[in-house]
Structure 1
Amino acid sequence: MDTLLEPEQQEELRGVATVYRGGLPQTCRVPGVMWFYAVMLTGRFEELIELIDETVRGCREFGYDWELAFVLQLRAKIQNDRPGGLPQAARDVDEALEIFLRIGDAWGVAEALAGRGESRENHGEYGPAADDYRAAMRYAADLGAHGQLPLLKVRLGGVLIEAGEEETGQGLLREVLEEGQHSNRDAVPFARIQLATWLATAGRTAESREHLRKVREEFAERSTPQLFLGVVEGSLAALDADEGRYDGVLEAVRGAVARMDDRLTRAIAPDALLSQLLVAARVLAVTGGPAGAADGARLIGSFDALRAPRPHAPRITWHSRTAAEEAVRAVLGEADYASAHAEGAALTLDEALSLI
């Protein structure tokens, strides 16, 4: 994916994005609908929702049922990560599922069920999300799409852990790891990251670190987007902080941010960057005295404000948020904490990142 951000590729993508527009018959149907990705990868994020809304309207006007369901799923994926976008995402995946069921597209049904599971997971509705992932697995198995099953199993394992069914959930993740080379090539590192996340919240930091190191080794052997490398580096930095080893952690956080911070990450994975604010806050509080703790409180305030439109978060986020606040409050009094937190809430993401 990183190669698509290089100047030559960007010029070609801008040409594609300029030639087409939303709502045309050719941009409502495959392959023309893939124009949407050219718009996204050239950084026109402020236009993205409007353009895909036009495509949805075009599909309705032209009577393109299958295409409408396909585009609704695309819009849901975008809305899942936008402030205030989850209700629209839920409506879109429900409608897409209804269309695919009506026209008898089993593969579309499987995709829509997985999409609805993701939307419900983002709402914190773990039980219904698990039901959707199980149903998607059944459809995929019936279709013989066995390569998709490991990824769906990882998603199911993750939501079961979040729902409190840790043993069942982590068991599914370990099954994917045991299947190893017979599994989808993306499923194994995804399973390791999910398992490492759970282990971190359970205080089993050594095991968590071992899984993350293996992911880093796997990523080093292939072309991997910087976003994923940054996530792994940031997670390892958080483990250092969990273990009370702060030397070099702030530098590691800066390195993780440098890998991740681009237009695409801010659009499709904003939490990847926001999570680093919390790790940095904890380090600053422990190593930087009152001034560092004040900056830590500002980072927490910025995190809270920037993430406020998406109030639900997985347990690893609240684990990190709680640890950061405890570290800061151990240095600052209530009034000083409240004042610095309020200052942080007014910061932009760029301003918050400059404190790290």
Structure 2
Amino acid sequence: MLRTHVAIDITGGLPTVDSDLAELHAIAQRVGDRWTRAQVASAAGEIALSRGRYAEARTEFEECLRLAREVGAHVEAPFALARIAETAYSAGDLDDAERLLAEADEEADQHGGVYDVSAYARLLAALIALQRGDAGRARTECELARVQTERITVPGQLTAGLDTVDAVLTAREQGPAAALALIGPALGAAVTARCAERVLAGMAEAAARFLADADRPAEAVRVLAAATAWRAGLPRSAPEATAVEGLPERTRALLGPDRWAREEVAGAVLTPAAVVTALTGS
């Protein structure tokens, strides 16, 4: 179980999880207790979510929630609700995501001390607010999440998410150059933390948009191509797809089809570390 959860979150880990997940299902069937089954469902949900299979992920997280409530796992239940909210957000259903997140908040408040759930929920709330165009609420939720992280050991992917929200808000408030000054070092920290490829890709895609907005289309093409390659064929979530919508066409129009194609080929082989160097100059 530990190996599975670590693999989901680290660079290069996702392709290794299937044999462990199969063994976990066998163990859960053999042992039979509901707590073990809840944990296996949660792991299966995380894997499906990472691969863009949101309906499957939701089914697994709902099973985790059902079992957690049956055994009185009061910390597990709000986290499962928040993960179900993430599946709705990833699929583009913001209304359902907000409803589920409110339910997760209410359940977490009943039991207190669920700081990791609260930090994650506030990040998700900030992301939803960004999609709604509500920059003020996004900033508030992000700041609340930072407060919660002072009480927990912070996972690298949570820091990466908060840093990306900060950069997007900075782009709206101060322009793309200021955002690029944030996203480069943030991506570097995520690379050092060995965050999963989908996390690194999301950050790089934000950087590509900032580069295009800063009139640096060639660099934008390379960074977007790199991020696409890191995803290894797995789909973007609905919000991630919206974030890069129109970017290839926009940069192709500026560069012309031939140069655009050359930059895309050059970018597709860039490693995360190479993109960090390109963004930060170091």
- TM-score normalized by the length of structure 1: 0.68
Q: Structure 1 residues 349, 162: CA separation in 2 closer, same or farther (over 3 Å shift)?
A: closer
- Aligned: 1:78 with 2:7: yes
- Aligned: 1:253 with 2:195: no
- Aligned: 1:333 with 2:256: yes
- Counterpart among 119, 122, 132 of residue 192 in structure 1: 122
Partner residue, 1:300: 224
Q: After TM superposition, give the deviation of residue 194 of structure 1 in Å.
A: 1.6
- Are the counterparts in 2 of residues 83 and 310 from structure 1 also a CA contact under 8 Å? no
- Are the counterparts in 2 of residues 227 and 259 from structure 1 also a CA contact under 8 Å? no
- Counterpart among 288, 311, 315 of residue 238 in structure 2: 315
Percent of paired sites with the same residue: 23
- Are the counterparts in 2 of residues 231 and 256 from structure 1 also a CA contact under 8 Å? no
Q: After TM superposition, give the deviation of residue 305 of structure 1 in Å.
A: 1.8
- Mean Cα displacement is larger for which, 73-82 or 120-129? 73-82
Alignment of 1:166-185 (within 5 A): 166-179=94-107, 181=109, 182-183=111-112, 184-185=114-115
Alignment of 1:239-250 (within 5 A): 239-241=169-171, 245-250=175-180
Q: After TM superposition, give the deviation of residue 74 of structure 1 in Å.
A: 2.4
Q: After TM superposition, give the deviation of residue 327 of structure 1 in Å.
A: 5.3
Q: Structure 1 residues 84, 106: CA separation in 2 closer, same or farther (over 3 Å shift)?
A: closer
Amino acid paired to 1:185: Y
3-state SS of paired residue (2:254): coil
Q: Structure 1 residues 256, 153: CA separation in 2 closer, same or farther (over 3 Å shift)?
A: same
Alignment of 1:8-19 (within 5 A): none
- Counterpart among 110, 129, 133 of residue 38 in structure 2: 110
Any gaps of 5 or more consecutive residues in structure 1?
A: 1-69
- Aligned: 1:99 with 2:27: yes
Q: After TM superposition, give the deviation of residue 138 of structure 1 in Å.
A: 1.7
Amino acid paired to 2:159: L
Alignment of 1:1-356 (within 5 A): 70=1, 74-75=3-4, 77-78=6-7, 85-86=14-15, 89-90=17-18, 92-179=20-107, 181=109, 182-183=111-112, 184-220=114-150, 224=154, 228-241=158-171, 245-262=175-192, 265-266=193-194, 268-287=195-214, 289=215, 292-307=216-231, 309-322=232-245, 324-325=247-248, 328-329=251-252, 331-356=254-279
For residues 165 and 274 of structure 1, what CA distance do their matches in structure 2 show? 22
- RMSD value over aligned CA atoms? 2.9
Amino acid paired to 1:250: L
Amino acid paired to 1:297: V
For residues 85 and 147 of structure 1, what CA distance do their matches in structure 2 show? 26
For residues 76 and 236 of structure 2, what CA distance do their matches in structure 1 show? 26
- Are the counterparts in 1 of residues 135 and 169 from structure 2 also a CA contact under 8 Å? yes
Q: Structure 1 residues 207, 76: CA separation in 2 closer, same or farther (over 3 Å shift)?
A: closer
Amino acid paired to 2:224: I
- Are the counterparts in 2 of residues 122 and 313 from structure 1 also a CA contact under 8 Å? no
- Are the counterparts in 1 of residues 115 and 152 from structure 2 also a CA contact under 8 Å? no
Q: After TM superposition, give the deviation of residue 114 of structure 1 in Å.
A: 1.0
- Are the counterparts in 1 of residues 177 and 210 from structure 2 also a CA contact under 8 Å? no
- Are the counterparts in 2 of residues 201 and 315 from structure 1 also a CA contact under 8 Å? no
3-state SS of paired residue (1:354): helix
- Are the counterparts in 2 of residues 113 and 136 from structure 1 also a CA contact under 8 Å? yes
- TM-score normalized by the length of structure 2: 0.84
- Mean Cα displacement is larger for which, 276-285 or 106-115? 276-285
Any gaps of 5 or more consecutive residues in structure 2?
A: none
